[in-house]
Amino acid sequence: MSSTRRVSLRLSIWEGCFYAVMVGASESLALFLAVKRGATAPELAVLTTLPVLLGAFSQWVVPFFVRLENLKRTMLIFIGIQMVGLLGLVFAAVAPNPFPYFLGSLSLYWVGGLTCGPLWLDWISNWLPRNRMSRFLSRRNSLLAFVTLASYLVSTTFIYFSKSYKGFACVFALALVARLLSWSTMFRQKSPPLPTRDTPFRPVVPESGHGRVVVLCILFTVLFKFTVNLSSPFFLPYTVKDLHFDLWQYTLLTAVPFVGRFAFLSQWGEASKSFRPMVGLQIAMVLIAVNPSLWTYNQNLGYLMTLELFSGALWGGFDLCVVLIIQSYWHGSARKILGLHLSLMSVASLYGARIGAAWHEGGLSFEEIFVRSSNLRAIVAFTCVIALVGLKETRIPLKSYGNFLSTALSLRLSFDNIGRMLPLRRKKA
């Protein structure tokens, strides 16, 4: 590996760590603060839908107009837009009439953040050969999950002891500083060398059915995201209203998925490299489908935390496998298809949440919604498995599924592997 590439990847780790600090100190706390500041039900409905819709639209449209040589410049612009949104959250924490600040700042936050996602994946993939993509992403995301968890716990602890809205303002200001540091770190990174021609479609394998594989992946993951969000927005009110969890219990329950990502994600990357990410996607979808039903069997905090631990591992594997599948067919130029895919999943999530809310308003309990969502998830997941098994490009021996699962969920915390990703100077041999 050249020294320039090594320095750029190391800076990418630093940039990701600063980004993770921002996520832990902003995303999970903004809507909580809006509720604390007295947002009405219609206002909350707008805050949870409109900003994400705007972000999804930008995530879909912008990559079609960005050339490979302009990736860095475009990302810096949209990171700046996200920083303006974070600044708005600082004012929203103490403003007399906070709703306009919340709406404007969250819109800018999601437009800037969501748009950068597919652009960054193309940016980093041009520094990495295909055979190193899964290992790099899994280890990096595992480290970022740990940093996000630490930032989230520190932020909630500070807010708990501050006992005023100024505590939220301080935490959002910390998130703004962290994002500024990530912006400056990306500014220092050199652009990857341009390929001889920026082809929009470069398959890894010569089979004629590779397009069908990606289309089926997009179709079933979007449908799956829709069924997931029929219930996932209601875990918060369920834990607070039905289970009567306090702030610390809720914090532990929402923090433990990051532990699952940190503990297992590097193993998902190794398994995806050995057994193909399509296997991991199918396994993750089937196991995630079971999770909501399991919530209805026991209300013990330890039991629910165990479920969320493995849920974090499965969702980390799901996200990683989706990216690897699309990148394997559009390596280095996947921003258009990724932007479209991610925006479709965002829209599907929003419509799923609206239907789930209508079910609840119609008289269904949270537990009944969980069971219904679980059943629909299972239908989509097993239909996806059947469809992919029917294609020769994705037909894999049955034992590969068991081998993948045993590798992906083996609890090897891989501190040595993650340590190799840490952006520290190393002595030359």
pLDDT tens for each residue of the chain, 429 residues long: 567 777 778 888 899 999 999 999 998 788 878 877 877 756 776 787 788 889 888 988 898 888 888 889 999 999 999 999 999 999 999 888 888 999 999 999 999 998 998 888 888 887 777 677 777 887 888 888 889 989 988 998 898 888 788 889 999 999 999 999 999 999 988 877 766 444 433 434 434 446 777 888 889 999 999 999 888 877 877 887 788 887 678 778 888 888 888 877 777 777 766 657 888 888 889 999 998 888 888 888 889 999 998 888 888 888 888 888 887 776 556 777 877 888 888 888 888 888 888 898 888 888 899 999 999 999 999 998 888 887 776 677 777 777 777 777 665 544 444 444 454 444 443
Q: Which of 36, 57, 13, 23 is nearest to 340 (CA)?
A: 57
Count of CB atoms within 10 A of residue 342's CB?
A: 25
Asked if residue 50 lies in contact with residue 42, where contact means CB atoms within 8 angstroms, the answer is no
| Domain residue ranges in the chain | 3-191+198-421
Q: Which of 139, 146, 148 is nearest to 320 (CA)?
A: 139
Element (H, E) at 236: helix 235-237
Q: Which of 177, 144, 180, 174 is nearest to 159 (CA)?
A: 174
Lookup: tokens for 332: 């280095």
Count of CB atoms within 10 A of residue 229's CB?
A: 22
Asked if residue 221 lies in contact with residue 322, where contact means CB atoms within 8 angstroms, the answer is yes
CATH superfamily of 3-191+198-421: MFS general substrate transporter like domains (1.20.1250.20)
pLDDT at 351: 86
Measured CA to CA, the distance from residue 184 to residue 254 in angstroms comes to 30
> What is residue 313's three-state secondary structure?
helix
Partnered with residue 56 across adjacent β-strands are none
- Half-sphere exposure for 219 (CA within 13 Å, toward CB): 12
Count of CB atoms within 10 A of residue 408's CB?
A: 27
Asked if residue 338 lies in contact with residue 117, where contact means CB atoms within 8 angstroms, the answer is yes
Partnered with residue 202 across adjacent β-strands are 330
Measured CA to CA, the distance from residue 228 to residue 371 in angstroms comes to 11
Asked if residue 219 lies in contact with residue 337, where contact means CB atoms within 8 angstroms, the answer is no
Lookup: tokens for 302: 């330890």
Measured CA to CA, the distance from residue 24 to residue 28 in angstroms comes to 7
Lookup: tokens for 217: 């992946």
Partnered with residue 330 across adjacent β-strands are 202
pLDDT at 232: 83
Burial class (CB in 10 A: 0-12, 13-18, 19+), 316: buried
pLDDT at 332: 57
Element (H, E) at 133: helix 130-162
CA angle 119, 120, 124 (to 5 degrees): 125
Measured CA to CA, the distance from residue 310 to residue 261 in angstroms comes to 8
Lookup: tokens for 49: 């839908």
Give, in order, the Cα–Cα distances in Å from 24 to each of 144, 154, 303, 320, 350: 10, 9, 24, 20, 22
Lookup: tokens for 388: 């992919």
Count of CB atoms within 10 A of residue 416's CB?
A: 8
pLDDT at 411: 52
Strands (E), 108-207: none
Asked if residue 217 lies in contact with residue 322, where contact means CB atoms within 8 angstroms, the answer is yes
Q: What are φ and ψ of residue 155, in 5° steps?
A: -65, -45
Measured CA to CA, the distance from residue 16 to residue 116 in angstroms comes to 12
